[in-house]
Structure 1
Amino acid sequence: MKVLLLPLFQFPTGHLKVADTIEEHIQKQYPDADIKVVDFLNYCSDKLEKLVSGIYLKGFLGAPFLYRALYYTIMYKQHPFKMQPDLQVLSYYFERKMQKFLEEEKPDLVFCTHSFPSGIISSLKQKGRYKNITAVNVYTDFFINDIWGKQGIDYHFVPHHEAKEELTRKHHLPGENIFVTGIPVSTTYQFPSPHKAEQIRHVLVAGGNSGLVNSFDLIGAMQKLPHIQFGILCGNNEELFAELQKLDSEQIIPIGYIHDPHELNKLYDEADAIMTKPGGVTISEALQKRLPILIHTSLPGQEEINMDFLLEKKLAIVINNDQMIKQLKDEAAILALRKNIDAYLKEITCPLETAIHTAIKNKGRKSAEPVHSLKAIPTVYH
């Protein structure tokens, strides 16, 4: 059995982490599977991948308004920013590249963890091609943009029931092929953090790699809470790591790049809450660990939309420098977050391994067998 996993970009992203999680589950259930993780954009052209990823990174941090306008222009068909660019030539180019790619690899299944390859495969399958390849969308944010393929995609692993309702109502997809798995995270994070006292004593701060902690106003606000320890994940931001080290503080502790998920899981277990940006995968890891989520800032585009969802469902609170003391001492608000997170997790009705097993069991069929009881499908090891 040949399986392709299609994230986007060469640098670490949530799309790549979700692809790694899918690979982890498939290898566990089907150790003989031939699995390959491929950045399709890089396959098309490494120069093109470098160009697009550079625009992505620089736009995120250097020109947020332009990135926001570009994101909505490309990702949504109807939006005030929409400029209706003519993408027909590009679509033809990428479809030809995808055909060449699929004919070279000859996969049985393709899992798309980014909307870009999903849209291309959907277009090809709607034209009657590659019907023998099972295509699966694995959504990595709390919303579904217009680039994701809908028709022609065999299975959808969605973050919540509202997303399933959108696909069935708006796009008329069969509900039995849409599984509410949540945004997939590594099995390393499957167990909740140990029971915590209501009062917050230790906050894990994520997002240092993307500029979350570059404001020393935020550091100043933390220093006004001497009873709380802040562990700051600096990622590859060596400048931030060095600046925090200079503080020589037992309260504000810089943490370098972490590659091992078990090491990160240990930090999750030690924390009483997480302060972060609303990236889909990081937020989902925090939800799985039952950590109260404090959002300090968000990057333009997808993170803003994620934040809207989290605030609407009361799964996170926006924290600001001036009110941080009051907010972190509000035990009732923190308890409410914990209860809302528990309620959200109860609505994730399909274990990821069950959804994967169903897709693999039905691979290559023109119409999948209906799933009457997801719980009745065993996890199979070969």
Structure 2
Amino acid sequence: MLILTETIGGNGHYQAARSLCQGLSQVEPELNAEICCGMHRVSRQLEQLTRAVYLNTLQYAPALWGAAYSREGEISDRFRTSLGKLLSRRLQEWLEEMQPDVVVCTHAFCLSAMGVIKERMGDRFRLGAAITDFDVNGFWIHPEVDFFLVAHEDVAKKIRRRFGVPDEAIFRTGIPIDPEFSKPQPPKSVLRRMLGLDPDRFTILLMGGGIGMGPIEECLYHFRRELPAHQLVVVTGKNRSLYERLQEQFGSDPRIRLHGFVDSMVHYMHAADIIVSKPGGLTSSEALACGLPIFICQPIPGQEERNSRFLMRKRVALRQDEPGEMARQILSLMENPEMLEEMSRRARELGRPDSSLAGARVIREHLLMKSRPV
């Protein structure tokens, strides 16, 4: 069993792979499942170049990425074919040595390569795609994919109608998150004490994703000034320079707790009252699993923009791209506790805390299909 992923744009795709692996260890303890970053295995130089181009595009020309993402019909086939052929040359020999029964991809780049390899090798393994957003584009679609793990019925409907994938190949498991989210948690006040927080203060979780992007610094400046009765937990991910800047500016404030990369967000999510974040698929899924109302600020054009629309359409999120206005919007929501509780209720209904276990069960079924004699 092989789970392929990439880390070129943050940690979310890898976290999804790891969560599936953890789910499999519970559902099928005897199974040997391995996680691998496909591009890293092909060429570290290619991986570094791709990461640099992607992150610089997001930082300096996000509209360009959004335009490419929205024109999926024109470029996805050509891009997928070219990338798939490039990566598959190096990966096929390794795959023939491993001889996995099932390969699941949590990133579209490695999925395209696996599709090409499966065409060449015949039906020697079953291929799955775990889509890590609340929408889907053509990069994820390949005729050799045997099954899809998707976030919601809306995604399943789009895959059926736009791309012609049969419904029996689509499983509404949710985006894979840490199985710990499916376990009962202590009350918020207890968790806050465990985390060194004031158990009685309204708690805001402020995140910028695994690479710490977004207007975290500006948000924190306004929140400290305009939300004096609140406490803030800030997670900067792997952005070390941002963490150091915030530590210098805000580290002495007892109401503000600063963290870099946090391996598991379970306790922090359950301890918070709301989350202010970019709408990445993994972070949003974790928030929904905890019933956290989501405040979205400056989503990246492309997948985050589409995630944002989905979350607002389901009325579990509010969007405000101006950090100063965000603080006032939070205050306004606090004055309407019924609305806050209703958003929390809808988030719990939409959330899938058992997503990695559900995904693992689907994978187990495909392992059994592969092992049955024809």
The C-alpha deviation readout for 1:154-211, integer Å capped at 9, x for no partner, is 11111101222223333333323321111010112224666679x9810111117423
Contact 2:201 2:231 in 1 (8 A): no
Greater shift, 209-218 or 83-92, is seen at 83-92
Is 1:342 the counterpart of 2:348? The answer is: yes
1:154-173 maps to which residues of 2 (within 5 A)?
154-173=146-165
* Structure 1 position 342, deviation (Å): 2.9
For 1:333 and 1:112, the matched residues in 2 are separated by 38
1:132-211 maps to which residues of 2 (within 5 A)?
132-191=124-183, 201-207=202-208, 209-211=211-213
Going from structure 1 to structure 2, the CA distance change for 1:224 and 1:146 (only over 3 Å counts) comes to same
Q: Which residue of 2 is the match for residue 120 of structure 1?
A: 113
Contact 1:131 1:366 in 2 (8 A): no
The C-alpha deviation readout for 1:266-316, integer Å capped at 9, x for no partner, is 222221111110000011111111111111221232111111111122121
Give the AA of the match of 2:55.
L
Going from structure 1 to structure 2, the CA distance change for 1:165 and 1:322 (only over 3 Å counts) comes to closer
Give the AA of the match of 1:17.
Q
Going from structure 1 to structure 2, the CA distance change for 1:40 and 1:149 (only over 3 Å counts) comes to same
Going from structure 1 to structure 2, the CA distance change for 1:196 and 1:188 (only over 3 Å counts) comes to closer
For 1:358 and 1:337, the matched residues in 2 are separated by 35
State the percentage of identical aligned residues.
27
Going from structure 1 to structure 2, the CA distance change for 1:54 and 1:333 (only over 3 Å counts) comes to same
* Structure 1 position 102, deviation (Å): 2.1
For 1:185 and 1:204, the matched residues in 2 are separated by 18
Q: Which residue of 1 is the match for residue 285 of structure 2?
A: 284
For 2:79 and 2:352, the matched residues in 1 are separated by 43
SS in 2 for 1:159: coil
For 1:11 and 1:91, the matched residues in 2 are separated by 18
* Structure 1 position 223, deviation (Å): 2.1
Q: Which residue of 2 is the match for residue 54 of structure 1?
A: 52
Is 1:351 the counterpart of 2:325? The answer is: no
Greater shift, 279-288 or 28-37, is seen at 28-37
Q: Which residue of 1 is the match for residue 328 of structure 2?
A: 325
1:224-303 maps to which residues of 2 (within 5 A)?
224-245=226-247, 246-247=249-250, 248-259=252-263, 261=264, 264-303=265-304
Contact 1:132 1:364 in 2 (8 A): no
For 1:12 and 1:275, the matched residues in 2 are separated by 18
Is 1:77 the counterpart of 2:73? The answer is: yes
The C-alpha deviation readout for 1:229-257, integer Å capped at 9, x for no partner, is 11111223333333333432122221233
Going from structure 1 to structure 2, the CA distance change for 1:115 and 1:88 (only over 3 Å counts) comes to closer
Going from structure 1 to structure 2, the CA distance change for 1:170 and 1:228 (only over 3 Å counts) comes to same
Going from structure 1 to structure 2, the CA distance change for 1:65 and 1:366 (only over 3 Å counts) comes to farther
Q: Which residue of 1 is the match for residue 218 of structure 2?
A: 216
Give the AA of the match of 2:291.
R
Q: Which residue of 2 is the match for residue 375 of structure 1?
A: none
Greater shift, 42-51 or 202-211, is seen at 202-211
Q: Which residue of 2 is the match for residue 21 of structure 1?
A: 19
Contact 1:180 1:348 in 2 (8 A): no
Q: Which runs of 5+ in 1 are unaligned?
A: 368-382
For 2:177 and 2:273, the matched residues in 1 are separated by 20
Going from structure 1 to structure 2, the CA distance change for 1:33 and 1:354 (only over 3 Å counts) comes to closer
The counterpart of 1:111, out of the listed 79, 104, 111, is 104
Contact 1:268 1:289 in 2 (8 A): yes
The C-alpha deviation readout for 1:79-133, integer Å capped at 9, x for no partner, is xxx69968765543334334333223211110110112222333444x4733120
Greater shift, 52-61 or 180-189, is seen at 52-61
Q: TM-score when scaled to structure 1?
A: 0.82
* Structure 1 position 55, deviation (Å): 1.0
Aligned residues: 355
Going from structure 1 to structure 2, the CA distance change for 1:312 and 1:366 (only over 3 Å counts) comes to farther
Going from structure 1 to structure 2, the CA distance change for 1:89 and 1:274 (only over 3 Å counts) comes to closer
Q: Which runs of 5+ in 2 are unaligned?
A: 190-199
The C-alpha deviation readout for 1:52-87, integer Å capped at 9, x for no partner, is 0111222222332333334445xx124xxx699687
Contact 2:40 2:47 in 1 (8 A): yes
**Alpha carbon RMSD of aligned pairs, Å?**
3.1
For 1:71 and 1:366, the matched residues in 2 are separated by 42
Give the AA of the match of 1:234.
T
Contact 2:77 2:139 in 1 (8 A): no
Going from structure 1 to structure 2, the CA distance change for 1:184 and 1:89 (only over 3 Å counts) comes to closer
Contact 1:123 1:149 in 2 (8 A): no
Contact 2:80 2:139 in 1 (8 A): no
Going from structure 1 to structure 2, the CA distance change for 1:90 and 1:190 (only over 3 Å counts) comes to closer
